[in-house]
Structure 1
Amino acid sequence: MIVQPSGDPAGDLRDFVRVRACAAGAETVSWWTGDVYGWLPDGGPLHLFGFEGLNVARARAVPGGYELLTREAAVYLDPRTREILRAWDNPLTGRPAEVMHVWNDPANQRLLERGRSGPFRAPRVLLGDQVVFNADVLLAYPSPLPVAEFPGHSAGDTYRAMELFQFFTAAAGLASGASSVPAAFSWTRVSPWLPWMELGTRPGALVYHCRGAKLGGYDEVPDRLREHVAAHAPRFARAPEEWSEPNETSWTAFRKRHRSPAEK
């Protein structure tokens, strides 16, 4: 059963924020696990990696909506042993590659009652006693890694990807009016090859297929991931306090690591 938005963009937005984070501004932690596949027009698909990560978020009310202030860390895993990878033998090139794990700080988002596309809508479906929200994010913008500058690491001058989310929450919890309600989620991403895979403009794409949940706190994050954060970037255990931009991605992080002397 499709549940139509209420016609109240402020209420629909608050419902979504209650599921994704906490409308009262408390810090929330989400964790996910899954796998990454390589799609090729002439072969595959290939099971390339396992994937596990966390996002620590704070929803801050602002005029007309919310700022979602977040950091996220994630690790690529051996698809068989599920151990965190340090190096990777690329089956598509036959060469080893240094793995760059994900350290996106910030990974912020503005959620407004009325944005460039009109009033906020939170598409939802009632399935038994659960409400399922979906959020489809379709991306196309100039790549931080132009092919002319990064021929071995860039799939194209335009970054094109899809981030497809579904959030599952109990209908009774949503009806309770609580500022934060428990939620599980699924996430699928279709994106270009990662820069550190060194596949350049070779045709194909990556497909991420993950699932996770909003946890009760940071101490519920699996030990291995918490230890990884503590060892390499402890600030990722907390959400940002203030808005900053631009967002970090694997592409911008790669450019920073490999920028020319003139950019340093």
Structure 2
Amino acid sequence: MTTTPPAQPTPAELLRSLARTRASLDGEEVTYWWSGDVYSWAPDEPYRRVFGFEGLNVARLVQDADAGPDAYQLLTREAAFYLDPTSREILETWEDRPVVHVWNDPANQKWRPFPVPTTELGGQVCFSLEIPLAYPSPLPVAQYPEHSAGDTYKALELFQFFADRADLAGPAPGVPATMSWSRMSPWLPWMAQGQRPGGLTFHCRGRKLGSYDEVPERTRTYIADHHPEFAHAPEKWSEPNETSWTYFRKLHPVP
């Protein structure tokens, strides 16, 4: 007797599961927090842990009715901080240069059904997102020779979100989750490395918090003192997104 294999989830069903893992279908604010390290690499140089790294993202998921019943907008603000690699204190300077932390407002996404890559890990499901980036740099070398690695911005973002299969089988609009994130990128603009060969690798892990109040107190205080709006997600869609490169350009506009 042959058995019929279980039906595979549709792209819309997979996206809904990812949405419950990454955010919440009821539109409530969801905070992810992460911690890790940043490593440098360059030809003929040893790998070096140059920074600790800690950050958070506050998100609100809303239906994107104009794009169809299974489409969403993920409205987020994202803040992250470069740390002393030993003491884990938030840095204000590095090699006598001012540190520019991550203040991405907004960091929005439009989601449409697609075959989200998943891996069954015992009682868990892992959603994997691999995002290669390549586009004209907001910091052209001719205008920012000390702060631009090249006229094309190239990076690779690797996300994994982990949720319990039993939670996903339930009715809750959002489910508990953990995550990992790795990123390969050029030197940061404020590091003033110019076109020196090499770059950075970020290696972080984190989780979905019960509320923003679970963010470490030191980090909440720093945000409250500098940009208190980052304690909440945006109320509505806006564009373009902010990045460390566009933010640096705003701080240092071309005359």
When normalised by structure 1's length, the TM-score is 0.91
What amino acid maps onto 1:85 in structure 2? L
Which residues in structure 2 correspond to 1:1-264 (within 5 Å)? 6-63=8-65, 64=68, 65-89=71-95, 96-113=96-113, 120-261=114-255
Q: Is the 8 A contact 2:10 2:115 kept in 1?
A: no
The match for 1:92 is none
Question: Cα distance, 1:243 vs. partner?
Answer: 0.4
Question: Cα distance, 1:248 vs. partner?
Answer: 0.4
State the alpha-carbon separation in 2 of the partners of residues 181 and 56 from structure 1.
16
Secondary structure of residue in 2 paired with 1:44: coil
What amino acid maps onto 2:16 in structure 1? R
Question: Cα distance, 1:5 vs. partner?
Answer: 9.0
Q: Is the 8 A contact 1:161 1:189 kept in 2?
A: yes
Q: 1:241 to 1:6 in 2, by over 3 A?
A: farther
Q: Is the 8 A contact 1:132 1:166 kept in 2?
A: yes
Q: What is the Cα-based RMSD across aligned positions, in Å?
A: 1.2
Question: Cα distance, 1:128 vs. partner?
Answer: 1.2
What amino acid maps onto 1:98 in structure 2? P
Q: Is the 8 A contact 2:143 2:254 kept in 1?
A: no
Higher strand proportion, which one?
1
State the alpha-carbon separation in 2 of the partners of residues 245 and 58 from structure 1.
16
Secondary structure of residue in 2 paired with 1:159: strand
Q: Is the 8 A contact 1:5 1:122 kept in 2?
A: no
State the alpha-carbon separation in 1 of the partners of residues 87 and 189 from structure 2.
24
Unaligned runs of 5+ residues in structure 1 are 90-95, 114-119
Q: Is the 8 A contact 2:28 2:60 kept in 1?
A: yes
Question: Cα distance, 1:44 vs. partner?
Answer: 1.8
State the alpha-carbon separation in 2 of the partners of residues 168 and 14 from structure 1.
14
State the alpha-carbon separation in 1 of the partners of residues 78 and 46 from structure 2.
30
State the alpha-carbon separation in 2 of the partners of residues 226 and 250 from structure 1.
20
What amino acid maps onto 1:78 in structure 2? D
Unaligned runs of 5+ residues in structure 2 are 1-5
When normalised by structure 2's length, the TM-score is 0.94
Q: Deviations over 1:28-52 (max 9, x none)?
A: 0000000000011120211100000
Q: Is the 8 A contact 2:130 2:159 kept in 1?
A: yes
Q: How many residues end up aligned between the 2 structures?
A: 246
